Amino acid sequence: MATKDEKKTKATEYGAGQIQVLEGLEPVRKRPGMYIGSTGPTGLHHLIWEIMDNSFDESMAGFGTEIDLHLLPGNMISVTDKGRGIPVDMHPQYKISTLELVLTKLHAGGKFGGGGYKVSGGLHGVGASVVNALSDYLKAEVKRDGQLWMQEFKRGIPQGKVKAIGKASGTGTTITFQPDKTIFETIDFDFDTIIEHLRRQAYLTKGIKLTISDERVPEVKHRYGFYFEGGVASYVRHINRGKEAKNANVFYVAKFNAEADMDVEVALQYTEEYHESVHCFANNITNPEGGTHLVGFRTVLTRELNTYARNKGYLKEKDQNLTGEDVREGLTAVISVKIKDPQFEGQTKAKLGNPEARTAVEAVFGESFRIFLEEHPRDAEGIIGKCLLAAQARRAARAARETVLRKGAFDGLSLPGKLADCSSKDPSISELYIVEGDSAGGSAKQGRDRETQAILPLKGKILNVERARLDKMLANNEIKSLIIALGTNIGEGFDIKELRYHRIVIMTDADVDGAHIRTLLLTMFYRHFAELIHAGHIYIAQPPLYRVNIGKNFKYAFSDEEKDKLVKELIEESGKAKAARAAKGGKVVEKEEEEETETLAVEVGAEESETEEVEVGGVRVNIQRYKGLGEMNPDQLWETTMDPKTRVMKLVTVDDAKRADEIFDILMGADVAPRKRFIQTHAKTVKNLDI
C-alpha cells in the first residue's frame, strides 16, 4: 500500500501522463466558446451563420444565387444552396470521403489553397466541422454528378459512410442539424434574430435570392424572402428609413482595386441624427470593431470634406479644419470589402487587420466621393452644413465640459452632493447604484454596504440624449452629476481607465415611469458611454414585484408566475408546520387567532403599495405588490436587490449593435410614426403592463 507521501507525490507530479491530446472534434466539444464565442443564444445562432457563410461563399464565387433556410420542428435547422455541392469523392491524402473530411476535421476546406474560392468569409475552414461537433444530429445531402449523396452524424461521429440514395438534377448542398442541448443553455432559435442577420447578408450580396421560413409550428408558418439589386446602398436606405436625410442621393461606389486584388463597396448618407452609424464587413462577415477598411474610410472622409469645404469657401483660412468627430455626426455608412486572404482577429472575426484594405478603400472611395461632391452640389451643401453645425456644437460642448471639470477642480475634485459614495477606492469592487427618486435613494443609502456600494439618486427623468447634442446634455444637472460620479469624462475626453466603479447598476421602480427612466439612462450609456456596455460594466437591478406573507413567513416573487408558485409553497409549509405542532401537542392557531401579518415600514412620501389579502384553503395569504423601491424599508431593499449573495441583476450587452441602434432610434427619436408602429406591433406580447 502506498504511503501518504507517495500518494501526494503521484497527485502532484507533472509528466507525460498528464498531457492530453484531443483528437478530431473533441477540442470543440471540450471548449465550444473558443470556436463560437459562447454557449448562450449568441453562440447558438452562430451555428447558423457558419453554415450560411459557406453557402454565401459559393454565391460570391459565382455558383448559385439561391439559398433557403428552414426552421423545423424540434429546433432543427436546414440550409440549402444551389452551389457546386461539397465533393464526395475519396480524398487522396486522408483516404475518406471529402464530405466526411470537411465535416469531421478542423481546418479542412476549399479556402486555403486558393483553388476553391477567390474570396471567403469562412477563413478558418472550421465552420461546418464545428457545427457538426456541437450538434446532437447532423445530416449532409449533396447533389453532384447526377446523384443525391447523403451522410449522417451524431455529435460529430459519422453514423455510416457517404452513400448515393437516388438520382438528382442540378448541384447543391443541404445541411440539416439539431444543436446539442447538453452543450447549449437553450436550443430555442429566435426567428427575429435570424431575419435581421440574413436580411443584412442579402444586402451585402447583390442579386442573391434568400428565403427563410419558420416551420416549427406547422399550423403557423412564417416565410420571408430577400432580394436586393442595390447592394449596400439599399442597406443604407433601410437603416435610414424614417429619418430626415441631408443628402437625398445616397453616395455609392463598387469597384475592384487591382493593386490590392480586392472588391470595395461603400455607401453613405447623412441624416439629422446626432450619432454615427457605420457598419463594416469583410467577405460578408460583420466586423463590429472595424479594422483597416474603416481606418481608410474615415481618413478619406475627413480629408475630402475639409478640401471641398475650403475650396468652396465654407471654411475660411482662419477657420480650423473639421475633425473626424465633426464629419461623422449623423453619418450612416456601410463599408464592404471582398478580400482573398482576410486577416481577422479570432474566429468571431470582430476586426479586420489587412493593411492593403486601408489603401484599397482610400483609393476607391476617395476618387468617387470627390466626384460625387462636385456632381451633386446640393447634397454636398447639406453634408457640409451638417458638419459645420457639428463643429460649432463640439466647441460649445468642449467649453461646457471644461466648465464642469474646472468646477470640480476648484472644489477639490468634489463629487456631487447627492452622491453617497462608498469608502473603497478600488474600482474593481465598487458599485454605483443609480436610483430613481429621493425616497428610494434614502432606503438604498441606509441599507447598502457602505464599503463597496455608492448611491446616486436622480430627480425625475433625465434628458433624452437621442435628441440632444453634448452641449445641451452638459447643461442638465442630473447628467452632469452622473458624469462627474463616473469619473471617465465624456466625448473626446472619455477615458475608461478613470472609471470609479466597475459595476454601474440602474435601479428603478417596476412601473411605466421606472421603465422610461431606465430607457433614458440606457440611451445615454449606449450613445455616449458605449465602451462601458461593451466592457460589461452596466447592469439593471431586478427588484421583486411581490412580497407574499403567511403570518410571519414570507417570500419575494419577481413575476406573476413566481408569485402563484410561492403562494402554493407557503401554504404547504404552513400546513406542515401546523401538523408538526399538533403532533407535538402544541397549540394549533385557528384562523381568528392567527398571528398578525407583519406590517411594512413605509417612508413618508412614498407611494402606497397595493396589498391584497386572499384566503386559500382556509389560510390567509397577504400579497403586497411593490409599486416603488421607496416602499421597501432599508433591510428589505438590501436583502432583495442589493445583497450580492441574494440579488438578481441583468448584465446589459449589445449583441447586435445595428439592431440596438435602430431600436433606440425608434423608441427615443423625434419621428413618431415608427414608434407608433412598434407599439402596435408589440402591444399584445407585453408583460406586466402598468396603466
How much is the average pLDDT of 391-403? 79
| Residue 405 within any structural domain of the chain | no
**Most confident residue range from 101-115, 340-354, 630-644:** 630-644
CA–CA separation, 41 and 197 (whole Å) = 14
pLDDT in tens, 596-609: 433 333 333 344 45
DSSP, res 185: S
Evaluate if residue 690 carries a pLDDT over 90.
no
How much is the average pLDDT of 245-253? 95
Evaluate if residue 396 carries a pLDDT over 50.
yes
Alpha helices in 453-559 (DSSP H): 470-473, 477-486, 512-528, 530-534
CA–CA separation, 212 and 491 (whole Å) = 41
How much is the average pLDDT of 202-207? 88
What does residue 391 show for φ and ψ, rounded to 5 degrees? -65, -40
Count of beta carbons in the 10 Å neighbourhood of residue 277: 22
The pLDDT of residue 461 is 82
Q: Render 224-291 in DSSP notation, one character per residue.
A: EEE--SSTHHHHHHHHTTTSPBSSSSPEEEEEEETTTTEEEEEEEEEBS-SS-EEEEEETTEE-TT-B
Count of beta carbons in the 10 Å neighbourhood of residue 9: 11
Closest CA to 212 of 235, 193, 230, 187: 193
What does residue 557 show for φ and ψ, rounded to 5 degrees? -125, 140
All three cell numbers of 187: 436550443
| Helix (H) or strand (E) segment spanning residue 616 | strand 610-616
Query: Which of 336-345, 513-522, 667-676 has the lowest average pLDDT?
Result: 667-676
Question: Could you tell me the CA-to-CA distances from 590 to 253, 575, 585 in Å, in that order?
Answer: 83, 12, 15
Return mean pLDDT, the chain: 82
| Residue 149 within any structural domain of the chain | yes
All three cell numbers of 331: 453619418
| Residue 402 within any structural domain of the chain | no
Task: Name the band, by pLDDT with cuts 50, 70 and 90, for residue 275.
Answer: confident
Clarify whether residues 484 and 617 are in a common domain.
no
pLDDT in tens, 424-442: 999 999 999 999 888 888 9
Clarify whether residues 483 and 432 are in a common domain.
yes
Query: Which of 27-41, 175-189, 588-602, 603-617 has the lowest average pLDDT?
Result: 588-602
Clarify whether residues 390 and 421 are in a common domain.
no
Evaluate if residue 211 carries a pLDDT over 70.
yes
How much is the average pLDDT of 482-507? 90
Count of beta carbons in the 10 Å neighbourhood of residue 135: 24
Binding residues for Mg(2+): 436, 509, 511
Task: Name the band, by pLDDT with cuts 50, 70 and 90, for residue 494.
Answer: confident
Q: In what order do the strands lie in the sheet with 277-282?
A: 251-257, 262-270, 331-339, 277-282, 285-286
Clarify whether residues 557 and 461 are in a common domain.
no
CA–CA separation, 578 and 590 (whole Å) = 10
For cell 435613494, the residue is: 441
The pLDDT of residue 412 is 36
The pLDDT of residue 17 is 44
| Residue 109 within any structural domain of the chain | yes
Task: Name the band, by pLDDT with cuts 50, 70 and 90, for residue 352.
Answer: very high
The pLDDT of residue 109 is 53
| Residue 388 within any structural domain of the chain | yes
Domain end among 181, 208, 226: 226
Clarify whether residues 79 and 115 are in a common domain.
yes
Clarify whether residues 97 and 162 are in a common domain.
yes
| Residue 642 within any structural domain of the chain | no
pLDDT in tens, 556-603: 888 888 888 888 887 777 766 666 666 666 554 444 344 443 333 333
Hey, what's the torsion of the CAs at 412, 416, 420, 422, to 10 degrees? Answer: -50
The β-bridge relationship of strands 538-541 and 503-507 is: parallel
CA–CA separation, 175 and 135 (whole Å) = 12
The pLDDT of residue 523 is 86
CA–CA separation, 356 and 257 (whole Å) = 10
CA–CA separation, 445 and 476 (whole Å) = 24
CA–CA separation, 107 and 123 (whole Å) = 9
Round the CA-based radius of gyration of the chain to a whole number and report it. 30
SS3 label, residue 65: coil
All three cell numbers of 636: 428589505
Residues designated as active site? 436, 509, 511, 513
Residue 164 sits in a domain whose CATH number is: 3.30.565.10
Task: Name the band, by pLDDT with cuts 50, 70 and 90, for residue 445.
Answer: very high
The pLDDT of residue 405 is 57
CA–CA separation, 266 and 361 (whole Å) = 8
Binding residues: 436, 509, 511
Evaluate if residue 19 carries a pLDDT over 80.
no
Q: What is the 3-state secondary structure (H, E, C) of 319-349?
A: CCCCCHHHHHCCEEEEEEEEECCCCECCCCC
Evaluate if residue 421 carries a pLDDT over 70.
yes
Residues of the domain holding 512: 415-543+651-685
pLDDT over 70 percentage in the chain = 81
Clarify whether residues 375 and 426 are in a common domain.
no
The pLDDT of residue 111 is 45
Residues whose CB is less than 8 angstroms from the CB of residue 236 and which lie 6 or more positions away in sequence, other chains included: 250, 267, 268, 269, 332, 333, 334
Bridge partners for 450 per DSSP: none
Evaluate if residue 301 carries a pLDDT over 70.
yes
What does residue 230 show for φ and ψ, rounded to 5 degrees? -85, -5
The pLDDT of residue 493 is 79
CA–CA separation, 371 and 121 (whole Å) = 31
pLDDT over 90 percentage in the chain = 42
Total domain count, the chain:
4
pLDDT in tens, 49-86: 999 988 888 887 888 889 999 999 999 999 999 999 99
Clarify whether residues 283 and 365 are in a common domain.
yes
Clarify whether residues 306 and 377 are in a common domain.
yes
The β-bridge relationship of strands 209-214 and 135-144 is: unpaired
Query: Which of 364-378, 614-628, 637-651 has the lowest average pLDDT?
Result: 614-628
Decide if 80 contacts 174 (C-beta within 8 A): yes
CA geometry: angle 584, 589, 594, nearest 5 deg: 150
361 compared with 479, residue with greater pLDDT: 361
The pLDDT of residue 112 is 37
CA–CA separation, 155 and 489 (whole Å) = 50
Task: Name the band, by pLDDT with cuts 50, 70 and 90, for residue 360.
Answer: very high
Q: Work out the burial of residue 513: count CB atoms within 10 Å of its CB; fewer than 13 is exposed, 13-18 middle, 19 or more buried.
A: middle
Evaluate if residue 121 carries a pLDDT over 90.
no
Evaluate if residue 113 carries a pLDDT over 50.
no
CA geometry: angle 190, 191, 193, nearest 5 deg: 70
Query: Which of 3-7, 483-487, 537-541, 545-549 has the lowest average pLDDT?
Result: 3-7
The pLDDT of residue 581 is 65
The pLDDT of residue 320 is 85
How much is the average pLDDT of 291-318? 94
The pLDDT of residue 612 is 73
The pLDDT of residue 585 is 60
Q: Work out the burial of residue 144: count CB atoms within 10 Å of its CB; fewer than 13 is exposed, 13-18 middle, 19 or more buried.
A: buried
Bridge partners for 163 per DSSP: 150
How much is the average pLDDT of 380-394? 93
| Residue 299 within any structural domain of the chain | yes
Query: Which of 302-316, 343-357, 377-391, 593-607 has the lowest average pLDDT?
Result: 593-607
Clarify whether residues 286 and 430 are in a common domain.
no
Q: What is the 3-state secondary structure (H, E, C) of 403-464?
A: HHHHHHHHCCCCCCCCCECCCCCCHHHCEEEEEEHHHHHHHHHHHCCCCCEEEEEECCCCCC
Q: Work out the burial of residue 576: count CB atoms within 10 Å of its CB; fewer than 13 is exposed, 13-18 middle, 19 or more buried.
A: exposed
Closest CA to 119 of 56, 210, 204, 173: 56
Domain end among 226, 251, 266: 226
Evaluate if residue 407 carries a pLDDT over 80.
no
The pLDDT of residue 584 is 64
The pLDDT of residue 15 is 43
| Residue 607 within any structural domain of the chain | yes
**Most confident residue range from 62-66, 135-139, 506-510, 679-683:** 135-139
Domain end among 226, 250, 266: 226
Residue 332 sits in a domain whose CATH number is: 3.30.230.10
Decide if 296 contacts 361 (C-beta within 8 A): yes
Bridge partners for 677 per DSSP: none
Clarify whether residues 220 and 154 are in a common domain.
yes
Q: In what order do the strands lie in the sheet with 649-651?
A: 453-458, 431-436, 503-507, 538-541, 649-651
What does residue 221 show for φ and ψ, rounded to 5 degrees? -105, 140
CA–CA separation, 326 and 309 (whole Å) = 13
Clarify whether residues 175 and 157 are in a common domain.
yes
Query: Which of 198-207, 315-324, 658-667 has the lowest average pLDDT?
Result: 658-667
Evaluate if residue 97 carries a pLDDT over 50.
yes
Task: Name the band, by pLDDT with cuts 50, 70 and 90, for residue 95.
Answer: confident
What does residue 584 show for φ and ψ, rounded to 5 degrees? -90, 0
